[in-house]
Structure 1
Amino acid sequence: MIIAVPKLTEGARFRQNVVMRLGWDALHAHDWSRLSHAYGPATDTPAHLKRLSDDDETAWVETIEHLYGEVTHQSAVYSATAPAALVAAGLLASPQLGQAISVNGWQPEPVRAYLLGFLAAVAEGAEPDRTEKELWEAYCTPRRSGASSVWDEEPDPGGYEAVIQCRSVSPALVDPVLQCLTDHDLRTRVAAARTAALLCQVPTVASRRTEIITLIETHARNAGTYYEKAKTLVELDQIGAVNRDFLSDPDSGIRLLAALASNLTDDPEGTRVILEALADPDQFGDWYPDPHLMLLGRDDHSPSHLVSEAVRRVPDFAELLPTALAVAARAGHSTGYPDWGLLLEAAFPPPQRFSVNSPLNEAQRAYLRALLDNSEIWRPGPPETFWTPDKLFALVRLPHDRQLLAAIVNSSGG
């Protein structure tokens, strides 16, 4: 099968000139009959965008659904995406778009927040983690299956062009988005922080990266609630830009978020914050009032994640002992690995697993005594639990028998 490949040199830009007009000017600056979205010609997109000027909740919902499901679709962008982004950015300040709507059964948010979400999808669609050469190779370089004459994928120069156009318009989106950081509505401010963080990763916005980070950081410092500050810190973490000053924030939850930031992963002060959090577990549940707030983008916002981080950062178990004792005091069979079990493994790291020929050191003995003192660890647990206590003790070559373990501890100088 012969596939026609456009005769284009690597890195060539065959886009039409994108006029950097915003709002309604952008709507009229493009020939939409020559553009497309996920389901074909974008001739219906202008009518949807015009409905943003209506005072009609149904119209707004249908427009948002069109932008999310057709103008962008499952992380893909199209020739209509960049022009639609210019229109949406220019309308962000429209007063009527502050009204809240519910789309697809989601929690109500202002139309403005939904538009910011669309612009965030545009920034992601610009594929900021790829160089233009990598984009060219991904979209425009034919590939074969080994020595076969069969093509793996047909070249997609239109896809390449759509991504490049999203990069081209991204600088024009920045100021309208940044203005939303001071919106009266919390949901809009949070959406603006996320979109701004995504935009500053787009290569064409590189010259404004420092400015954008500073504004997002200022927004975090001035946030009136824990939720808003934490969500903004999440966005800063996505771009590796959490200021270590947040390790000294008055709010213990914010300190912990900062301690787990990707760019502060081995900061000694961050390690101290994590160890303090584990030593005072009674506070932990109160730090995250919103169950949907993920800890810096990680799915696991439980104390077990903190234990894992503590073990990774502090290889000397003697230094970890106060943390281990605090965890052991509250542990149960259900916490399992990597909570008290991970600390048990840290106390007996390979190749120094327990051996009858090697006496326990003071830190090992103290930790085992703490586990012996906690009856919850020793009562039977559900059989479907993968990391059962017997497996955890067997991992370090210790018996899962309370009396035998006590004898080992007491015969080792106890």
Structure 2
Amino acid sequence: MVTKVDPLAGLDEVEWERLVHAYGAAKDVPANLRALRSRDPRVRHGALVHLSASVTHQGSRYSASAPVARFVVELVLAPDALDREGLLEFLCALAVGIDDERLPAGVPIAEWRGEAAQVEAEREALIAGAAEWADSEMKRGRERELWLRNPFGGLATSPDTVAAYDAVRDELPRLVQFLGSHRSVERARVAYLTGMFPEFAARTVPLLADRLDVETDEHALTATLIAHGLIASPSATLDRVARFLDDQPPLVRWGAATALARASATASRPPGRRVIRVLIDSTVHQDVPDLRIHDGWIGSYAAKSLASIRHWLTAADVEDLADRLPLAASSFNRGHLLDTILSAAFPGAGRAANVRLDGLTPVQQHVLRAVLPVWESDDSWMSMIPGALARHGLICSRSEIEVALTTGGTA
């Protein structure tokens, strides 16, 4: 007889009331973790939404996040797991926060560990600050004690951040079994999760390489390509991924180009015209929410990848990208695309306002001519375009740009 193992064994042994999440004491966590085992999908969904909002709120991690991660791993590994794909996605959030902040460069875990050590060294000062805040907010008794015991809440990188990351990382050897799952969505989720752990690359890159040879599902193959690009060496990515640039669906070609752009940026070597062409075409790709990578914002991710290799973009590439601004799938995608275009057209410029409107190059004129009608036609851009222009040294009004372009960009 096989004895069933409870994935939530030990749940009540954790002193949840001494831990915090975004909304205070984590005493509600046990009930929500148990709800993830409910047979009612609505109950499971509500519990996952609540947990995500509390222990990974806006990408932050808290003292409760690492313990939650350890139980979620066990829920994923349970033979009778429910919504395993959603739990794998939650594990990615527990490990790295909002994934688009890690793309396309990958997880800078060495920096995180250094920053967390520095924050730990400042613990006493943080506790003093928490005490001052608690006093100003009239916090008393256990509530005040709670915040003094957990001084890192809300910090972008802290010991809590690294603890949550490591709680998932340490279980990766058990989680990678789902690379062979019969469910393609589980293969896709765990492949992408694997790409968040460069410290395990020696073990996991060969597993990803094996999947590249046999994966047939479009989404799972794309996720595997992205993950390989995030943690493999540039030479390994070039050897294994370049073949996916041709004779594949557009989504797979985008995944391959994304991985190869990452390799090029890492190795500081030209990416090749085919990579650039695929990424340029992908900037107007329709969003793919089911992919669950960068929230499915394919065009936005393509723009960010192009920004990482902007030094190899030609004038014609930049003009081509500028002409695509009105075609981007959403204003979110346009925002990243605009930043990429401006960074390529105005290299080295910044908030010092060092761009002279009476000395614009032909490429710069082309870019600004493409920006003007988008700026004029979409009111939601009234607050976005000036900021984007300012980041690239153009602190000026729309009318000033219009005048400069009317005179050919010269005084």
* Shorter-chain TM-score above 0.5: yes
Alignment check: 8 A CA contact 1:27 1:46 kept: no
2:120 match: 136
Q: State the match for 2:73 in structure 1.
A: 89
Equivalent in the alignment of 1:213: 205
User: 1:221–1:229: 8 Å Cα contact kept in structure 2?
Assistant: no
One-letter amino acid of the counterpart of residue 261, structure 2: L
Contact persistence 1:183–1:189 (CA under 8 A): yes
Provide, for residues 341-391 of structure 1, a one-character-per-residue CA deviation record: whole Å limited to 9, x for no partner.
999989xxx99x999xxxxxxxx9xx9xxx9xxxxx99x967827899x95
Shift of 1:62: 3.2
Shift of 1:116: 1.4
Contact 1:259 1:267 in 2 (8 A): no
Distance 1:77 1:321 in 2: 43
AA of the residue aligned to 1:97: A
- Give the aligned CA root-mean-square deviation in angstroms: 5.4
Counterpart for residue 10 of structure 2: 28
Per the alignment, residue 69 of structure 1 pairs with 53
1:72-122 CA distance string (max 9 Å, x none): 433344444333322221221445435xxxxxxxxxxxx212211222233
Matched, 1:112 2:84: yes
Q: 1:136 to 1:298 in 2, by over 3 A?
A: farther
Contact 1:197–1:236 (CA<8 Å) still a contact in 2? yes
Structure 1 residue 211, shift from structure 2 partner: 0.9
What secondary structure, in the 3-state scheme, does the structure 2 residue paired with 1:113 have? helix
State the Cα distance separating 1:42 from its structure 2 match. Answer: 4.1
Residue number in structure 1 paired with 2:257: 256
Q: Cα 1:332–1:121, aligned 2, differ >3 Å: closer, same or farther? A: closer
The answer to whether the aligner puts 1:188 opposite 2:186 as a matched pair is yes
Contact 1:181 1:189 in 2 (8 A): yes
Of residues 221-230 and 120-129 in structure 1, the stretch that sits farther from structure 2 once superposed is 120-129
In structure 1, distance between residues paired with 2:305 and 2:163: 42
Amino acid corresponding to residue 117 of structure 2 in structure 1: K
Query: Under a length normalisation based on structure 2, what TM-score does the superposition of the two structures give?
Result: 0.56
Shift of 1:195: 2.5
Equivalent residue letter for 2:273: R
Q: Which residue of 2 aligns with 1:273?
A: 274
CA apart distance, 1:209: 3.2
C-alpha contact 1:139 1:157 (8 A) present in aligned 2: no
Consecutive unaligned residues in structure 2, runs of 5 or more? 98-106, 135-146, 153-157, 328-336, 348-354, 378-384, 390-397
- Provide the residue aligned with 1:244 in structure 2: 238
SS at match of 2:288: coil
Q: Which amino acid aligns with 2:113?
A: R
Which of the pair is proportionally richer in helix?
2
Give the SS at the match of 2:182: coil
2:33 alignment partner in structure 1 = 49
Contact 2:76 2:87 in 1 (8 A): yes
For the residue of structure 1 that corresponds to 2:171, the secondary structure is helix
Aligned 8 A contact 1:241 1:263 in 2: no
For the pair 1:384 / 2:376, whether they are aligned, the reply is yes
- Say whether the 8 Å CA contact 2:230–2:259 is kept in structure 1: no
Return the letter of the residue paired with 1:244. Answer: L
Higher Cα radius of gyration: 1
CA apart distance, 1:136? 0.5
Report the Cα distance in structure 2 between the residues aligned to 1:181 and 1:241, rounded to whole angstroms.
20
Query: Kindly, what percent of the aligned residue pairs are identical?
Result: 16
1:230-273, Cα deviation, whole Å (9 max, x unpaired): 33333444557561222342444444323422654666562332
How many residue pairs align between the two structures? Answer: 328
Give yes or no for contact 2:179–2:186 (8 Å, CA) kept in 1. Answer: yes
Please tell me whether the aligned partners of residues 209 and 228 of structure 2 are also in contact (alpha carbons under 8 angstroms): yes
Contact 2:258 2:305 survives alignment (8 Å): no
Contact 1:181 1:193 (8 Å CA) reproduced = yes
Deviations 1:120-156 (A, max 9, x none): 23322699423242230454434999xxxx9689866
Determine the structure 2 residue equivalent to 1:312: 311
> Under a length normalisation based on structure 1, what TM-score does the superposition of the two structures give?
0.56
Q: What is residue 409 of structure 1 aligned with on the other side?
A: none
Q: Which residue of 2 aligns with 1:223?
A: 215
Give yes or no for the alignment of 1:232 onto 2:241.
Answer: no
For residues 248 and 286 of structure 1, the distance between their equivalents in structure 2, rounded to whole angstroms, comes to 23
Give how far 1:182 is off: 2.3
